[in-house]
Amino acid sequence: MNTIENVSRRDFLNAAGGLTLALFLPGAQAQSGPGKTGALAAGAVFEPNAFVRIGTDSTVTVIAKHLEMGQGTYTGLATLVAEELDADWAQVRVVGAPADAKRYNNLFWGPAQGTGGSTAIANSYEQLRRAGATARAMLVAAAAERWRVPASEIRVAQGVVSHQSGKRAKFGELAAAAAKLPVPAEVKLKDPKDFVLIGRNVARVDAREKSNGRAIFTQDVRLPGLLTAVVAHPPRFGSKVKSFDAAKAKAVKGVVDVVAFSTPVTNGVAVLAQDFWSAKKGRDALVVEWDDSAAFKLGTAEILAEYRRLAEQPGMVARNDGDAAAAFAGAARTIEAAYEFPYLAHATMEPMNCVVRLSADRCEVWNGEQLQTGDQYALAALLGIKPEQVHLNMLYAGGSFGRRACAKSDYVLEAAAIAKAAGGRTPVKLVWTREEDTKGGFYRPLYVHTLKAGLDSAGNIVAWQHRIVGQSILAGTAFEKMLVKDGIDKTSVEGASTLPYEIPNLRVELHSPKMGVPVLWWRSVGSTHTAYSTECFLDDIARATGKDPVDLRRGLLGKHPRHKAVLELAAQKAGWGKPLAAGRARGIAVHESFNSYVAQVAEVTLKPGGGFTVDRVVCAVDCGVAVNPNIVAMQMESGIGYGLSAALYGRITLKDGVVEQSNFNDYQVLRIGEMPQVEVHIVPSNEKPTGVGEPGTPVIAPAVANALAALTGKPYRTLPLASA
């Protein structure tokens, strides 16, 4: 591939003076996104705000402030703009915005730009619609002025502005005139009943380029003089380079340099070469001596022993309704359970990578960028420059599940540190192998939960105690002040502290032990473990009291109609209560995460020779307005597959501080033949859109476990299920 260079949006705006007609220089490339892999738009551009550009060829370019990592964000954001603009969908293109928190901040995160927490569509719903409506109003005003007719008589549809007199103009024909008009302070948004794109299954804007290979990922970036870096990382967390011998590495054909580096997060020895395989062979030939004096050396067994000990003691209080202690004292019966959840890797299809080019007063980065503002500041601190001197070009990412939203910017800092250690003379592409990310990345924390329920003589739940032990994801990060209060990491207890069931006396406690294993959010974060423990424990109670699991939940959700609605819809569509063949059973679970409500029914069959299959999953989701129902269904299916993969197989273990897994041979993921038939049913809603990228994940594991328990009569309290 030829050199890929991106025009910085900030530079473009500075040169163009904001809302003006401007020319894109020949060869200016899209930062990422579908459509033309060349100039963003031909000729003059009408740019009424930070999110919309219209070229003289009538191409509408939407600037997406959120990363496209497979979740459909580019399509959703473009739909919001195109709906209010009344654009021709075939002429809509999307490019990723650069790092510029003033223009592209995540409205839910304050003055910070980034993608995460299933917020992309939710925080952009009105903002992007207004951007489109503003552009439309200015095009209409330009047409009214040109044709000397009232603006109220002008209509816009599928990229054409028209008047009843027969006058017509495409967007591109009005772009120059519209660019000279004042930007309206207020615009009227459409009534939802008039939507023509929102709520419809419009085609994904990224599908074709991802299919034909034209989509630009980090691995596709080629710059003059680019070297590829592969790193020898410490085998234990906290180890440091003591010494190294580069002779054998430098003897490998294609190897150019070998450098040691250190960042506030990681350290190691990097081999730089003309290509990846030469760099990897050189890295494998390195002789490195590690200093393990400050390394983390505990194994999984020791960690679990400590967590079990803590789970027997009171923790910090995350929720305290009524008087649980008194209610337990008066309960007719008590039920208890303990659950254990392993560390989990993110296992993205595209391992971590990043391209960095340094100069005397500038750092430019190309990658699937998820936390622009955080990475800007971290890179500036590392390099001793100002944040505005760090320019980030957002490309497509091949999955993340939380991994690319590293609050400590590990692999991004590594790339810059390696480039600096190599003298800053050449651009560097850092490539992590699958083994590096599996053995030395960041993980979903290991957790131990204990739950206790007190029942009255009629079998009603009168007391509930939930104790959680696990590392804080937020400790020591920039998010700690915002999301940790009175020692409680909200991400550790979400789903437990927000339990919707009507239980008069309810207490949730948390222990956040410090361990040397690096941890990070993982798709659906706290709900990955709280949904499992609470929903499985509820089925334990249903079996103990002879109640139907759906009826038990329905009776406890009187004050939560959206939970109740998805529960009932999933049960109805799955045929809950209807007989199944021998050896087959259903399990159900319901959970809210990221303001979306999901219920799933899993049908599971025991195999005659042992083991089981998950054959069918019926999913009901309430995510507010479904901007693109097909993408909502895709994300539910994706979340189910990802969650099922972890439920069946996911487990990172340590021995003497060393991660034992290395690749898909021993960190198994779901194979395509194991994916069940999935049906997705969307609850019609006029509420604002909420997240869909993550909420499908936490529900599948408890639904499957509850089906297994219905078949075998025993609870499943340790994950993964394949080894339970």
Predicted pLDDT at 22: 25
Kindly list the distances between the CA atom of residue 547 and the CA atoms of 121, 285, 536, 576, in Å, as whole numbers in the listed order: 39, 63, 14, 14
User: In this model, does residue 222 exceed pLDDT 50?
Assistant: yes
Confidence of residue 479 (pLDDT cuts 50, 70, 90): confident
Write out the E strands in 69-143.
92-96
User: In this model, does residue 31 exceed pLDDT 80?
Assistant: no
What's the whole-number average pLDDT of the chain? 93
SS3 264: coil
Global pTM value: 0.93
Instruction: Report how far residue 721's alpha carbon sits from residue 535's, in angstroms, rounded to the nearest whole number.
Output: 15
Arithmetic mean of pLDDT, 122-126: 98
Identify the CA nearest to 98 among candidates 64, 127, 52, 131. Answer: 64
- Taking every pair of Cα atoms in the chain, the longest distance, rounded to a whole number of angstroms, is 83
User: In this model, does residue 35 exceed pLDDT 80?
Assistant: no
Residue 556 neighbours by CB under 8 Å, 6+ apart: 461, 500, 501, 502, 503
Q: Please write the tens of the pLDDT for every residue from 136-151.
A: 999 999 999 999 999 9
Arithmetic mean of pLDDT, 181-185: 96
Amino acid sitting at position 151: A
User: In this model, does residue 502 exceed pLDDT 70?
Assistant: yes
Cα dihedral 539/545/549/551 (nearest 10): -150
Instruction: Report how far residue 620's alpha carbon sits from residue 633's, in angstroms, rounded to the nearest whole number.
Output: 10
- What residues pair up with 614 in beta bridges, in sequence order? 604
Q: Please write the tens of the pLDDT for every residue from 253-287.
A: 999 999 999 999 999 999 999 999 999 999 999 99
The lowest-confidence range among 33-47, 118-132, 138-152, 234-248 is: 33-47
Predicted pLDDT at 406: 86
With a pLDDT cut of 70, the percent of the chain lying above it is 94
Instruction: Report how far residue 559's alpha carbon sits from residue 15's, in angstroms, rounded to the nearest whole number.
Output: 56
User: In this model, does residue 133 exceed pLDDT 60?
Assistant: yes
Q: Please write the tens of the pLDDT for every residue from 57-93.
A: 999 999 999 999 999 999 999 999 999 999 999 999 9
User: In this model, does residue 28 exceed pLDDT 70?
Assistant: no
Identify the CA nearest to 628 among candidates 83, 90, 198. Answer: 198
Predicted pLDDT at 482: 86
- 68 with 96: CB under 8 angstroms? yes
Q: Which alpha helices (H) appear in 187-342, and where do they start and end?
A: 207-212, 247-250, 276-285, 300-311, 324-329
- 11 with 39: CB under 8 angstroms? no
With a pLDDT cut of 90, the percent of the chain lying above it is 91
Residue 554 neighbours by CB under 8 Å, 6+ apart: 564, 567, 568
Count the neighbouring beta carbons within 10 Å of the beta carbon of residue 386: 11
Neighbour-count burial for 531-551, b at 16+ CB within 10 Å, e otherwise:
bbbbbbbbbbbbbeeebebbe
Rounded to the nearest 10 degrees, what angle do helices 120-147 and 171-179 cross at? 90
User: In this model, does residue 607 exceed pLDDT 60?
Assistant: yes
Predicted pLDDT at 100: 95
User: In this model, does residue 12 exceed pLDDT 60?
Assistant: no
Predicted pLDDT at 122: 97
Instruction: Report how far residue 549's alpha carbon sits from residue 543's, in angstroms, rounded to the nearest whole number.
Output: 8
Arithmetic mean of pLDDT, 502-506: 98
Amino acid sitting at position 32: S
Q: Please write the tens of the pLDDT for every residue from 432-476.
A: 999 999 999 999 999 999 999 999 999 999 999 999 999 999 998
Q: Residue written as tokens 């505990």?
A: 298
